[in-house]
Chains A and B, each alone.
Chain A
Amino acid sequence: MTGDRRLKLGGFAVVLVIALALPFLFGAYQVGQFTLVLCYAIAVLGLNLLVGYGGLISLGHGAFFALGAYTSAILIDKADVAPLATVPVAAAVCFAAGLLLGLPALRIRGLYLALVTLAVAIAVPQLIKRFDALTGGTQGLNVPRPTTPSWVPLADDQFLYFLTLAFAIVMFVLAANLVRGRIGRALAAMRESEAAAKATGVNLARLKTGAFAVSALYAGVGGSLYVFSIGFVAPESFTLTISFAFLAAVVVGGLGTIGGAIFGALFIEFVPVYASDVNEALAGVIYGAVLIAFMFALRDGVMGLLRQIAQALTTKEGRDERETAVRLAGGDRRRGAAPSGGMRA
C-alpha cells in the first residue's frame, strides 16, 4: 500500500503546487472563479463524507451552505463582526444544525432521508424570504469583501484566493485524517451493512448524527467563504439547484474520495449553473447526462479514473506482482479462491 500512499501524496503535492501558482497565472475574474471552486470544494468534501463514505443520501446540502453563508453575512452586515471571525461561528452554527437534522436521520434511512433533505432544500429559499428582517429577504444582503491588508503584496482577488486556500487545505487535511482513522472505518462499515457494523460495536446513532454534523460544518465553512467571494447573498443563490450541484460534484469527483471534491467543484463552477436562460438549459442537460453517464461508466468518478490510470502506468514490478497472483488463483480454481471485494480505504 505504500505505493498507493506515495501516489496520493505525489498527487496532492502536484495539486498544491498548481493551486499556489494559479493566482499569478490568471486575471482577477478567473482567480475569483477559482476561489469559488475552493469554497465549493470544501462543501463538496463535507457532502462526500456523508454520502460517499457514509452512504447516507442528502439532497439538502445546499441548506447548510446557505446557513453558513447567511450566518456570516448577517454577522458582518448587522453586527459588524470581522469577516474572518464569522467563519468559526458559521461552522459552529451549521454543526449544531447538522446535529439537529441528524436526529431524525437516525430513525429513517435511505430514500426517506433523501426525501426529508429534499424537502428541507426546497423550503430554504422560502424561509429566507420569510425572515426578511434578518436576511434581507428577496433583496438579499450586500457584504463588503475582505481586502488585502496593506502589508501584503497581493491584489485583492489573490489575497482572497490564498485566504480561502488556507482554509481549504486545513479542511482537507482534517478530512483525510478523519477518514483514515477509526471513524472512517466505522463509516465504511456502516455503509456496507448497518447490521454488521452494529454487531462490531459501532454506535450507529452517534455516527450518523456526527456525520451529518460534520458535513454540515463543512458546508457552513464553504458557505461562509463563499460570501467573501461573492459579496452578496440572496435566496436565489440557494435553491434546490445548488444541492443537486453538490451531489453531482460528489459523483463526478468520486464517491468516497477526498481529492474528488476538487474535481467536482471544478465541474460545477465551470459548467454554468447560474448562467443565462439558454445556457441554463444546456448546463442542466449536461449535468443530468453526466450524472447518469458517471453511474454507468465511471462509478468512482474522476478519482477512480485517475487511480486506474495511475495503476496502469505503475512500476512494472507492481504489475508483475499482480499477474502472478492472478495465475495462482486461476490455476487453483479447484480450491475455490476467496471472493474478492472488501472496502476501499
Chain B
Amino acid sequence: MERLIQTLVDGVATGSLYGALALAVVLIFRTSGIVNFAQGEMAMFSTFVAWGLLEAGLPVGLAILATLGLSLLGGMVIERVLMRPFEGGDHLTLAIVTLGLFILVNSGAGWIWGFENRSFPSIFPDDTIGVGGVDVPLESVGIVVLLLAVVGVLYLFFQRTKLGLALRAVSVNPESSRLSGISVGRTLMVGWGIAALVGALAGALIAPRLFLDVNFMGGVLIYSFAAATLGGFDSPLGAIVGGWIIGVTEDLATTYVDFIGSDLKILVPLVIILVVLLVRPAGLFGTREVTRV
C-alpha cells in the first residue's frame, strides 16, 4: 500500500513534468497552429543557460528566474525570426523548420557546453513530507503544486487580461483579429515567448531528476507529445491531465509489470499515442477540428 501511494505520488509528479512541457507544446499549437518539435530542445537550452548562471555564482532561485525571463525573450525572437517568414506555410515545411531548429539547438548546446552529463540542483529541499500517512519526497509535492500554480496564472492571464484575450482571438480567427486592429505577428510572438518560458520551467524541474545533458529532454518530448495527444492537442487542461495519466501509468507499469523495464518504458507513450489516435483522435478534451489537421 505504501508502495502504491509512493508510486502514485511519483507518477503525478513525473506526469506534471510531462504536462508542463506538453502545455508549452499545446500553447504553440493553439496560437500558431503548428507542432513545435523543438520545444524540448529549447527547454534544454534554457536549462543549460540556468546551469551557466549557477556556475557563475547566482543562487538557484535567481538563476531560474533570470532564465525564465531570457527564455521568454528567446521564444519571442524565435517566432519573429524563424517562424514569421513561414506563416501560413504548409505542414511539411513547418515541420521541417522546427526539426531543423531541434537539430540546431541540440547541437548548438553541445557545441557551447559539451556533451558530458552534469548535475543540476533542485529548487526544493531534499526532504520528505507526509501524504496519506506515507512519506513522499517534498520535491514531488512541490512540483505538482508549482505546476498547478503555473496553470492558475496562465488561466488568469488568458481569461482576464487583454493580451490573453488577443492571444485567444488570434488562435481562433487571425483574419478577424487583424480587422479589429490586433497585430497578429506580435501576438504570436508573445505566445511563443510564454511557451518557451513554461518549457524552461519544465526543464529546470526535470533536470535534477535526470542528468543534465544535451539529450535529456528528448525522451521527455515524446512523453509530452503523448500527453498532448491524450489530452487533446488544443487543450491546455488536457495537456496537464494527459501528463498525469501518462506519468501514473508509466510508473505503475514499470513498477508492477515486469516485462517493461526501464529501457522499454518508451513504449508506453508510443502505445498511448497509437491507441488515442485510432480510437479517439481528438483526445480527452480536444475539439473535433484538431483532427482535421
Contacts and interface: CB of A to CB of B under 8 A. Distances in A.
Direct contact of A and B (CB under 8 A): yes
Specify the main secondary structure of chain A where it touches its partner.
helix
B35 A114 contact: yes
Contacts of A120: 270
A247 B96 contact: yes
**Of A110, A115, A126, A292, most B-chain CB atoms within 10 Å:** A115
Interface stretch (B138-146, B165-173, B217-225): B217-225
Contacts of B219: 122
Contacts of A282: 107, 111
Interface stretch (B16-24, B97-105, B246-254): B97-105
B277 A277 contact: no
Contacts of A51: 92
A316 B100 CA distance: 39
B164 interface: no
B39 to A, nearest CB: 12
A257 to B, nearest CB: 14
Nearest to A284: B107
B253 to A, nearest CB: 15
A55 B92 contact: yes
Nearest to A55: B92
A178 interface: no
A116 B114 CA distance: 30
Contact of B222 (A57, A119, A290): A119
Given A110-B91, A122-B222, A295-B86, A288 B100 contact: yes
A212 B102 CA distance: 25
Contact of B91 (A57, A116, A277, A299): A57
B277 A104 contact: yes
Contacts of B269: 119
Interface string A123-150: 1001101100000000000000000000
Contact of B270 (A55, A123, A290): A123
Contact of B266 (A122, A251, A281, A285): A122
A6 interface: no
Contact of A289 (B104, B110, B225, B229): B104
B108 interface: yes
Given A110-B293, A114-B95, A280 B107 contact: yes
A114 B266 CA distance: 16
Specify the main secondary structure of chain B where it touches its partner.
helix
A335 to B, nearest CB: 29
Contacts of B104: 284-285, 287-289, 291-292
A213 interface: no
A283 interface: yes
A240 B103 CA distance: 11
A112 B280 CA distance: 13
A313 B114 CA distance: 47
Interface in B267-288: 267, 269-270, 273-274, 277-278, 281
Contacts of B47: none
A288 B281 contact: no
A243 to B, nearest CB: 10
A104 B278 contact: yes
Interface residues of A, number: 45
Nearest to B214: A281
B263 interface: yes
A218 B266 CA distance: 27
Contacts of B277: 104, 107-108, 112, 116
A8 interface: no
A288 B278 contact: no
A295 B91 contact: no
A288 B105 contact: yes
A280 B101 CA distance: 16
Given A122-B218, A122-B219, A57 B100 contact: no
Contact of A288 (B91, B92, B107, B264): B107
A299 B269 CA distance: 33
Contacts of B100: 248, 287-292, 295
A289 B105 CA distance: 10
A198 interface: no
A244 interface: yes
A129 B91 CA distance: 34
A37 interface: no
A116 B107 contact: no
A119 B270 contact: yes
A296 B225 CA distance: 27
**Of B34, B82, B103, B267, most A-chain CB atoms within 10 Å:** B103
Interface of A: 51, 55, 57, 59, 104, 107-112, 114-116, 118-120, 122-123, 126-127, 129-130, 240, 244, 247-248, 251, 255, 277, 280-285, 287-292, 295-296, 299
Given A114-B35, A288-B101, A289-B104, 7 more contacts: A111-B95, A119-B269, A127-B264, A280-B115, A287-B103, A288-B108, A291-B104
The 4 lowest CB-CB distance pairs between A and B, nearest first, are A284-B107, A288-B104, A291-B100, A288-B103
